[in-house]
């Protein structure tokens, strides 16, 4: 169970890194004039504020888990949500 949790959390981190690299590429190419940069920054902020932070806080405050495990669970939940998205 814990190996799967760590694996899913790492995969979620890589997804976030790739998204950030794409946003950075478009920012360096055109600055804030590009709609992709604005959409990427807004979506990253929404994911962080409305998804990752509440799940992390619930794991820490509600379930009394350690910070490390709570971080892994929040990232793994993001990875599981990405499985549900159909492109």
Is residue 1 scored above 80 in pLDDT? no
Is residue 80 scored above 80 in pLDDT? no
Is residue 78 scored above 90 in pLDDT? no
**pLDDT value, residue 57:** 95
Could you give phi then psi for residue 65, rounded to 5 degrees? Answer: -90, 165
Distance CA 40, CA 24 (A): 9
Instruction: For helices 2-30 and 67-84, give the axis angle rounded to 10 degrees.
Output: 70
Indicate the pTM of the whole model. 0.80
Q: What is the pLDDT of residues 18-68, one digit of tens each?
A: 989 999 999 999 887 888 888 888 988 998 899 999 999 999 999 999 999
């Amino acid at each position: 169970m814990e190996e799967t949790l760590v694996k899913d959390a790492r995969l979620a981190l890589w997804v976030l890194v790739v998204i950030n690299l794409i946003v950075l590429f478009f920012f360096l190419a055109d600055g804030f004039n590009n709609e992709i940069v604005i959409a990427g920054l807004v979506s990253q902020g929404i994911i962080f504020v409305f998804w990752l932070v509440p799940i992390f806080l619930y794991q820490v405050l509600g379930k009394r888990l350690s910070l490390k495990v709570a971080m892994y669970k929040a990232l793994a939940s993001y990875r599981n949500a990405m499985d549900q998205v159909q492109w």
